[in-house]
């Protein structure tokens, strides 16, 4: 039985002719390699995407319980891992991977929009916060000065008490050195007078 006979038999509803059964044929699409399969930059990019996707997926797991977009992070991480694996191996995307990439792209757009809203809100609030800080700064400074006065007095008193013995010992050493110099000076003058008398 040739191919045209099989097609005719299938269209007529006959699944078999002359007692022979026809096996259904399954078509499995092959994943075709990319054009620049050996390109090392794709492999490096793929490895970086796999690492980032793993980190994003790992960060998404606790966000399922804690506040944060856990499911989105896990889906985005899985998409990054898939894309990185394709870049490393140099193959084209399957239909499922293309859908996963689309989901990841939409999630990235949503995250970007959320980040922009947050940035705009922070920019709007910044002048109000700055004004409040400027208004409160003198009050805080006054409180700091009042709190610092006893500390400064205590430190100054302790420094004075610690400096008194040092000053006394330094003064005693200076007096001793001065008296020693004075005695030497007097001896010198006496020797000079006596040598002048002897020279006359």
List pLDDT tens digits, range 111-121. Answer: 677 777 878 88
Confidence (pLDDT) at 42: 75
Query: Which of the 8 DSSP states describes residue 91?
Result: B
| Residue in this structure with the two tokens 């689309």, named with its chain if needed | 102
Q: Which of 113, 60, 58, 56 is closest to 83 using CA atoms?
A: 56
Confidence (pLDDT) at 165: 82
Backbone phi, then psi, for 90, in 5-degree steps?
75, 40
Domain segments of the chain as ranges: 42-90, 93-137
Q: What is the dihedral of CA 81, 83, 88, 91, to 10 degrees?
A: 140
Contact 88, 42 (CB under 8 A): yes
Total-model pTM: 0.37
Q: What is the dihedral of CA 189, 194, 195, 196, to 10 degrees?
A: 90
As a whole number, mean pLDDT of residues 31-50 equals 69
List pLDDT tens digits, range 57-72. Answer: 888 888 888 777 778 7
4: confidence class by pLDDT, cuts 50, 70, 90: very low
Confidence (pLDDT) at 20: 60
Contacts of 72 (CB under 8 A, 6+ apart): 60, 107, 110, 111
């Amino acid at each position: 039985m040739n191919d045209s006979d099989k097609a005719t038999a299938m269209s007529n509803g006959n699944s078999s002719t002359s007692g022979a059964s026809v096996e259904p044929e399954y078509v499995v699409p092959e994943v075709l390699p990319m054009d620049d399969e050996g390109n090392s930059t794709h492999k490096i990019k793929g490895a970086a995407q796999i690492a980032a996707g793993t980190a994003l997926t790992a960060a998404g797991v606790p966000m399922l319980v804690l506040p944060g977009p856990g499911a989105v992070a896990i889906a985005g991480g899985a998409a990054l891992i898939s894309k990185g694996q394709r870049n490393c191996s140099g193959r084209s995307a399957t239909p499922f991977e293309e859908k996963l990439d689309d989901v990841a792209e939409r999630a990235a757009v949503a995250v970007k929009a959320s980040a922009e809203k947050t940035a705009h809100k922070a920019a709007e609030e910044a002048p109000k916060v700055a004004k409040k800080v400027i208004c409160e700064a003198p009050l805080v400074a006054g409180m700091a000065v009042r709190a610092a006065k006893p500390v400064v007095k205590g430190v100054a008193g302790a420094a004075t008490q610690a400096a008194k013995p040092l000053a006394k010992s330094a003064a005693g050493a200076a007096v001793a050195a001065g008296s020693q110099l004075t005695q030497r000076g007097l001896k010198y003058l006496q020797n000079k007078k006596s040598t002048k008398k002897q020279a006359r």
